[in-house]
Structure 1
């Protein structure tokens, strides 16, 4: 079943009298249980593509469906509700709330959804991401990598059906980066989620089912890199 479907989506921006085509007409889908990477140079349209799928921007043309439900075309209030319930965002900037402790960053999810706090699930993610000892710390007390791991825990805590990760390992060292990608891959497969990871680091694509390349707003399947298996990571690193 398709968890994400992009049908004829494009995005244009106006820069004074000039029109910029940031995303060319794109058709794309991700099945449940599928982990997809999008690679490409800076400024190629990767983040625009991801934020349109996540409903943070609306397409100029075309539409996005999440779990076969209209998403890009619904009213803002309904789209916000769907986004919060179905999508876990991991952004390059951690976007933590400065006055909340690590544990309270996750508790806030329950307050917004009016659900009971799930301590066992919080403990699970803090342990997996090696941030258990930070639960009472504030974002200002954390390193960039620690803040990013908290943001990942928060995104996964509410059990979204879709995970959208924009450079999720940018603040992490190599070892932590591989650990995070392994966690995302495992969560995708075991919980039947659909995950898109935008990354500039091709060492991290070994766990992905498909790899797409974005350049000048055009998205294409990279058939060569899609053939890579997890054990081929070293070969990618050596290129």
Structure 2
């Protein structure tokens, strides 16, 4: 185990033998870190925190600290980080609360840039990018393949759908449906995230149906219930190529309790 002599690692912490820990880092007693993970200098990892394989933590991050909920009374809530994530400088990831699921979760293959904040009970999926200064309040849920622009603030309990793109310095106070590009303050839906979908090898047929869903929600003049019915009617179009994407959209809309960005 490559632990710098100035690092302080509690004897009760569970670190794989291949973990690297940089100078002046501090790792607490309830921390578990998987194989291949690199902890840079001046990083604090504390709380009931479990970290998977091949993650990289840059200097000055605070991982697993007590959350910033005034109701928190020191309960042994958790932070769980998956595999192959990159956490850049000055990021803060807090443990969950007993008022919710008791766990803050970061999935796999995420790129978390400098000064990002993941508050208590946040859930982030896989292959997401959070640009510098993105701030997620408590209980926010983010799907897979989501990009969040720099200096964006996301209000408590908001939901961000798969493949969504949130622009620079946005104020997110409503749910963001899958596949959409949104930005501004107040937030507005601009278009389908075509660039992101093409990068993920979505076919032209799938993108065409997703564009139809966008038009039904945002350009048709329909109520949301009317738009959902019209989206349901798209099933089987283009040989059913996008039926899974229709499921993704309808499932997201059905679960939204705080309204979607319009």
TM-score by length of 1: 0.24
Higher RCO, Cα 8 Å, sep 6+:
1
Tell me which protein shows more helix as a share of its residues. 1
Structure with larger Rg: 2
